[in-house]
């Protein structure tokens, strides 16, 4: 499922949550390359489920696969 798409990249993924374990798996397609990711977090309160995507995005930014300024859909 496409979760985010810009002129520069496409992020596809799926999230899940069971027994306070949350995950986010998917791929980033950019410049004809595909990068796979899997993030697994312990969810301790109702505010944390969104952290799966936030942590993944920060990792992709750290790896310089996404720009901090490249957010949102086009």
pLDDT in tens, 12-28: 999 988 888 889 999 99
pTM value surpassing 0.75: yes
Please enumerate, as own/partner, the contacts of 70-73 that have beta carbons within 8 Å and a separation of 24 or more: 70/6, 70/8, 70/9, 72/4, 72/6, 73/4, 73/5, 73/6
Q: Which two tokens stand for residue 39?
A: 């993030």
Residues of the domain holding 36:
2-62
Residues 6+ apart with CB under 8 A from 41: 21, 22, 23, 48, 51, 52, 55
Total number of domains in the chain: 1
Task: Assess if residue 55 is contained within a domain.
Answer: yes
| β-sheet bridge partners, residue 37 | 26
Task: Assess if residue 71 is contained within a domain.
Answer: no
pLDDT (tens digit per residue) in 37-66: 999 988 887 766 678 889 999 999 999 999
């Amino acid at each position: 499922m496409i979760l985010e798409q810009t002129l520069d990249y496409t992020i596809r993924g799926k999230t899940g949550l069971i027994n306070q374990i949350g995950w986010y798996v998917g791929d980033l397609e950019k410049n004809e390359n595909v990068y796979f990711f899997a993030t697994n977090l312990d969810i301790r309160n109702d505010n944390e489920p969104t952290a799966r995507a936030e942590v993944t995005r920060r990792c992709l930014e750290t790896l310089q696969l996404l720009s901090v300024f490249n957010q949102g859909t086009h």
